[in-house]
Amino acid sequence: MALAAAALAGGMTGLRSLVFLDSALVPALEGRDLVVQGVVSDMPQRNEAGLRFRLQVESAWLDGVATPLPPRIAVGWYGGVYPTGTERAGLQRQPDAVQAGERWRMTLRLKAPHGSRNPLGFDYELWLWEQGVQATAYVRAGADDPVPQRLAQTGLYPIALARQTVRDRILAQVAPRASAGLMAALVVGDQNAIERADWNVFRATGVAHLMSISGVHITMFAWAASLLLGALWRRSRRLCLGWPAPQAALVGGVLLATAYSAFAGWGVPAQRTCLMLATVALLRLSGTRWPWPQVWMLACAAVVALDPWALLQAGFWLSFVAVGVLFATDSGASRAHSTGAASRIFHMAREQWVITVALTPLTLLLFGQVSVVGLLANAVAIPWVTLVVTPLSLLGVAVPGVWDLAAGAVGWLLAGLQGLAALPWATWSVAVPPVWVGAAGVLGGLVLAYPWPWPLRGLGLPLLLPVFLWQAPLPPPGQFELLAADIGQGNAVLLRTATHALLYDAGPRYSLESDAGERVLVPLLQALHTRLDRVVLSHRDTDHVGGAAAVLGMQSQADLLSSIATEHPLQALRPVQHCMAGQAWRWDGVDFAVLHPQAGDYDRAAKPNALSCVLRVSNGARTALLVGDIEQPQEWRLVADSRAQLKADVLLVPHHGSKTSSSAEFLDAVAPQFALVQAGYRNRFGHPAAPVLQRYGERQIVVHDSPHCGAMVWQSWNPQNVACVREDGLRYWHHHVP
């Protein structure tokens, strides 16, 4: 039976994938101007650059001919001035006040969902896949483009429209920006409304799950709602005679949680949690007295049958454990009814304590980071948010004055959390272990906790050993590893020796609120448990320093070597030492040397590219050369001045493969086996350029680029191989780059 069920589940998942893939975006349509008519299916989100929303496509035309498109696409509409030479050059029309449920006709440029692929990094393509989004697009809104047309309000998405109305009213009426953002996140699930600095506070104090309408939060909401409903129900003799209070509380709790989830955006984690809660409730109502492990497994099976991809998401496992602890142990709602209010509060405190303790090791295994102050922060924040802030924020929808109370309650919470986050030991992080180590650890914990006789429980101890003994792999002494992160259009390369680490460039800035540092590099360094000794920023262009502030903020011990000017804002974070030819140091038997620029170059008014710090890393046998954005004149000078030092096994392709660089003379001098291009998928500069690639091809140099390869890893003790994270971990939901 089990085998048949597994085969059926696997087959169904495969079939669903094939049907879904069938409506994927045709690569030939990427980058073309398409006229698209569709309905805005979700609450639009506004940020500093423009507007983002989901569009349910009704019809589309390419050069007047109807053409099929994926049914659901993610659209961005960005206004303002874009520099010439860019894809959206010129003045772009500011976005209109788009509302959920409206039918629009607009000119769009589409591309397939493409996210960065890094070791242990977030899988953006899977995230879009689960939501059924098969293309991303931006509105062509230049002076020569047709004006986007609002055709009608269809009334097709009333909940999304209601959410948008409430969100806009909160943002307009509540004065403190941070409080308003948090209330919008809690009531309508608009996490964009929370500012980035506040997110860092929430993460450091382990309460981020409360702000993002996660499974844990909805479980807590259902449980609090059923307690409250049960207490009210018991006040009426008539009601109790009609229907027993525990059952009314159970059903009411699940229904209220479902209504709340729907209003809060009905995200994938919320759907899963409601399904789990409903399964548990139905089972209990049916009167069957199943042992709790079966109840738990059935809830899990119901979710996985509908959404098999949930198994790959950390959030699924967190809410799975939370639901298990709260409902399957049968210590929550049903036991707390017999006694007074004091006892109920005691139970509430205990449940929440158990949840936090149960989730802590799992969080450590899933994210490699756990909040030490999290126990205390959650002990206060969970009841405060669940019982005070959320109900007041929801009540404010009907009675507007209540929002001021809610804003006050949020203000206190923020102040308290900021105090906790500022503590030096607020978070504790470890390297993310491989899955088998994590699974053994969780299993060991379960065996230890299960009420078996103690000798049997003792068997859990050896299962815990790998968790404590496991060490993140590091290069052997005398060797080094080069990891070119997938950060889109820019440079960011992590160099590690046995006990030291250096980051060469910090990737691009994506928008005012997000950059490669915060999105990719800080999580990567955390997952690898790497402490940087030095950050080298080759030059001041934003595709090289965009993520520097985030990285330097997290790595206080790292010093900074760069060619950026003395008045650059980054100087405020860290004193900068100018990189200069002749600088050299040795870490664990590996030599690092700066080959460019010369001292005199700083006095001449040169392009920033010409000042790029060129770094040579060598252990005598193997060599890597990182050259930033140097152009032909600098290449020729390097060939003339330091030809002997240029020969390398691996080269970070200068200027992302631009035509300005990779001259024949330079390539002949370096003569690498591998060349790595860090560039964005379909980047607007056309990097790497075809003639440049041809020059590499003529010399039998193997070129890897980040759009095809994702993050690229090369190791001096395994020099014949470049590992590609995207290719090695390619699954059917990932973008197959043409």
Positions that interact with Zn ion (CB under 5 A): 543, 629
Shortest Å distance, C-beta 568 to Zn ion: 16
Closest to Zn ion by CB, 486 or 629: 629
| Least spacing, CB of residue 489 vs Zn ion, in Å | 8
Listed residue (354, 272, 276) closest to 313, CA to CA: 272
Q: Could you give the residue ranges of the DSSP H alpha helices within 532-661?
A: 542-545, 548-554, 632-646
The DSSP bridge partners found for residue 38 are 57, 104
Comparing CB distances to Zn ion, the nearer of 518 and 543 is: 543
State in angstroms the smallest separation of the CB of 541 from Zn ion: 5
Query: CA–CA distance from 86 to each of 248, 629, 686, 706 (Å)?
Result: 61, 18, 10, 20
CB of 540 to Zn ion, least distance (A): 10
In the bound complex, what is the minimum distance in angstroms from residue 652's beta carbon to Zn ion? 11
Q: Tell me if 691 sits within 8 A of 659, measured CB to CB.
A: yes
CB of 491 to Zn ion, least distance (A): 6
Strand partners, 495: 482, 502
Cβ–Cβ under 8 Å, residues 219 and 261: no
Q: How many Å apart are CA 545 and CA 492, to the nearest integer?
A: 9
Rounded to 5 degrees, φ, ψ at 266 are 50, 45
Which token pair is 720?
Answer: 């014949």
CA angle 566–569–572, rounded 5-degree value? 85
Question: Nearest approach, Cβ of 559 to Zn ion (angstroms)?
Answer: 23
CB of 114 vs Zn ion, minimal distance in Å: 19
Residue 596 C-beta: closest distance to Zn ion, Å: 15
Q: What are phi and psi of 50, to 5 degrees?
A: 160, -140
Q: To the nearest whole angstrom, how small is the minimum distance from the Cβ of residue 656 to Zn ion?
A: 6
Taking phi over 0 as left and psi of -120 to 50 as alpha, with beta for the rest, 560 belongs to beta
As a whole number of angstroms, the distance between CA 75 and CA 34 comes to: 13
Residue (86 or 721) nearer to Zn ion, CB: 86
Question: What does the alpha-carbon distance between residue 431 and residue 437 come to, in Å, rounded to a whole number?
Answer: 12
Q: How far apart are CA 616 and CA 627, in angstroms?
A: 9
Residues linked to residue 585 through DSSP beta bridges, in sequence order: 592
Question: What are the residue ranges of helices labelled H in 422-494?
Answer: 435-449, 454-457, 460-469
Minimal distance in Å, beta carbon 674 to Zn ion? 20
Pick between residue 300 and residue 651 the one whose CB is nearest to Zn ion. Answer: 651
- Residue number with CB closer to Zn ion (130 or 543): 543
What is the distance between the alpha carbons of residues 84 and 100, in angstroms, rounded to a whole number? Answer: 33
* Angle 624-591-618 from CA coordinates, rounded to 5°: 25
Q: What letters, b where the CB count within 10 A reaches 16 and e where it falls short, cover 592-627? A: bbbbbbeeebeeeeeebbbbbbbbbbbbeebbbbbb
- Which residue number, 258 or 538, has a Cβ lying nearer to Zn ion? 538
Helices 390-398 and 158-173, interaxial angle, to 10°? 100
Residues 6+ apart with CB under 8 A from 364: 370, 430
Nearer of residues 543 and 635 to Zn ion, judged by Cβ: 543
CB of 494 to Zn ion, least distance (A): 17
C-beta of 355: minimal distance to Zn ion in Å? 46
Q: Which is nearer to Zn ion, 545 or 595 (CB)?
A: 545
Tally: H helices and E strands in the chain:
28, 27
Label residue 656 left, alpha or beta by phi (over 0 means left) and psi (-120 to 50 means alpha): left
Q: Which is nearer to Zn ion, 272 or 596 (CB)?
A: 596
Q: Is the CB of 110 or the CB of 679 nearer to Zn ion? A: 679
- Closer by beta carbon to Zn ion, 201 or else 579: 579
Do 505 and 538 form a contact (C-beta atoms < 8 A)? yes
Cα(613)–Cα(576) distance, integer angstroms: 13
- Cβ proximity of 584 and 642 under 8 Å: no
Rounded to a whole number of angstroms, the minimum distance from the CB of residue 544 to Zn ion is 6
Q: Say whether 588 sits in a helix, a strand or coil.
A: coil
**Shortest distance, CB of residue 612 to Zn ion, whole angstroms?**
9
- Of 339 and 542, the one with the shorter C-beta distance to Zn ion is 542
Report the distance separating Cα 255 and Cα 225, nearest Å.
Answer: 10
Minimum distance, C-beta of residue 366 to Zn ion, in the bound complex (Å): 34
Smallest separation, CB 511 to Zn ion (Å): 18
Toward Zn ion, which CB reaches closer, 629 or 649?
Answer: 629
Nearer to Zn ion, 478 or 608 (CB): 608
Angle separating helix axes 196-204 and 177-188, nearest 10 degrees: 70
Q: Which is nearer to Zn ion, 629 or 631 (CB)?
A: 629
Q: How far is the CB of 687 from Zn ion (least distance, A)?
A: 9
**Cα separations in angstroms, 102 against 99, 599, 644:** 6, 60, 65
- Of 102 and 705, nearer to Zn ion (C-beta) is 705
Nearer to Zn ion, 386 or 660 (CB): 660
Cβ closest to Zn ion, residue 198 vs residue 543: 543
Are 130 and 75 in contact, with CB atoms under 8 Å apart? no
Cis peptide before 433 (omega within 30 of 0): no
